[in-house]
Amino acid sequence: MTKSSSNKPRPPLSQQDPEKYARLKAEAQAPYKVLRQFFYIAFGASGFIGALVFFAKLASGRGGVEALPNFALQVGVVALMVWLFRLEQKS
């Protein structure tokens, strides 16, 4: 029987591939960061499109008073998503 090379102790991951180690360490510190950022962008884009629609209704005069709260809500959603995205970038 011969000894296989798999019995040798392996060096720690930080010495094997420093780039992979850094990426895994960052993911452990902030799990699902990329997924959260995707949702912030998607919801922000949705709010922006909604704000454009309600702004167009207000500008055309067809929306009346009913479109104003909806427009404000869409602008609020966009502002919230921008704030959350920036907060995520700082950490």
| CA count, 13 A, side-chain hemisphere, 80 | 11
Q: CA–CA distance from 54 to each of 14, 29, 63 (Å)?
A: 53, 40, 7
pLDDT (average), residues 8-16: 68
Q: How far apart are CA 70 and CA 68, in angstroms?
A: 5
Which residue type, as a one-letter code, is found at position 37?
Answer: Q
Which residue type, as a one-letter code, is found at position 28?
Answer: A
pLDDT digits (tens, 9 = 90+) for 17-50: 888 888 888 778 778 888 999 999 999 999 999 9
Length of the chain: 91
* pTM, two decimal places: 0.69
Domain range annotation of the chain: 31-91
